[in-house]
Structure 1
Amino acid sequence: MKFSRGTNYALHTMLQLAQSSTPNKPIGVQQLAEQQDVSPTYLSKILTKLVKEGMVSSVSGVKGGYSLPYNWETISFLEIIQAIEGKASLFDCHFGHGPGCPIEQVMVEAEEKMEEQLRKMTIADLVKNKTMN
């Protein structure tokens, strides 16, 4: 199983914004992109998805950029991943066995456990752990 690069950049950008001295002050896409060595155009597309989901705020203009909303501490890894990847299941049994398929049952259970862990973890948890170390 592999998440897209977009998810990787989204998670790192959220952490980058959270670790800034003032998470609510906008940071330009150019600066965010340089710190991750990614194209600003590509990162803008990812940030657009995060803005649409309310996980990032954007401000236009010369002093504009992206920042975290007031409730950023509650945003989970799962929410960020789903903003980029969508909410479709990772596994889809194509054999038409229905809900009784034993393979699908194992895969769905595993995915539920992974989602549970990702739902518990927030970017704020990483920021707290870094300041404690």
Structure 2
Amino acid sequence: MRLTTRGRYAVTALLDLAVQESRHQGAVSLSDIAKRQSISISYLEQLFSKLRKKGLVSSTRGASGGYHLAKPLSEIDVMTIITAVDESVNAMQCGGKGDCHDGSMCLTHDLWRHLSEHIEAYLKNVTLAQLLESRNTQTIADRQERVSIKKDNNINTINLFGA
């Protein structure tokens, strides 16, 4: 089973959005998420378009615009985020079709199907609220915010001196 960057980045970006909303109570820009999480802004735009269509985020235009979570944290589970960006956690080589061995079901088909079901059930039971409550999440978010502010200050200093 391999979860691609699309699913990972979507979960990371929404958790970042949840952290920032809980701290600052305002819309969060994709450029800020991109800086903190080292994800390209164009990739985030693609992901957030899908997340908006699935009703997980809403956007606000304007100078103080950005994104908000469209549902309470306790109602957004990790599996919903992953499927919203057209991602899967299916561990079966055949994608569940049963044609994994020369057009027929392979010997380990049921093993991988059960694993996929367990992973999906686990991710359905993990919400953004639970992830946000994690001490690690808060510690890492603090570090990322400090690094982001430091980078912004360095850029402003460089611009100030015309270098």
Question: Secondary structure of 2:56's match?
Answer: coil
Q: Matched residues in 2 for 1:61 and 1:109: separation?
A: 47
Percent sequence identity over matched residues? 28
- CA 1:44–1:126 in structure 2 vs 1: closer, same or farther (change >3 Å)? same
- CA 1:132–1:88 in structure 2 vs 1: closer, same or farther (change >3 Å)? closer
- CA 1:53–1:68 in structure 2 vs 1: closer, same or farther (change >3 Å)? same
- Asked if 1:84 corresponds to 2:92, the answer is no
Structure 1 length-normalised TM: 0.83
The residue type equivalent to 2:40 in the other structure is S
Alignment of 1:34-49 (within 5 A): 34-49=35-50
Q: Deviations over 1:50-103 (max 9, x none)?
A: 1111111111222211111243321111111111234584421324436xx642
- CA 1:66–1:111 in structure 2 vs 1: closer, same or farther (change >3 Å)? same
Structure 2 length-normalised TM: 0.69
Aligned residue pairs: how many?
130
Structure (1 or 2) with the larger CA radius of gyration: 2
How much is the aligned-residue C-alpha RMSD, in angstroms?
A: 2.4
Gaps of 5+ in 1: none
Larger RCO, structure (CA 8 Å, separation 6 or more): 1
Question: Secondary structure of 2:70's match?
Answer: coil
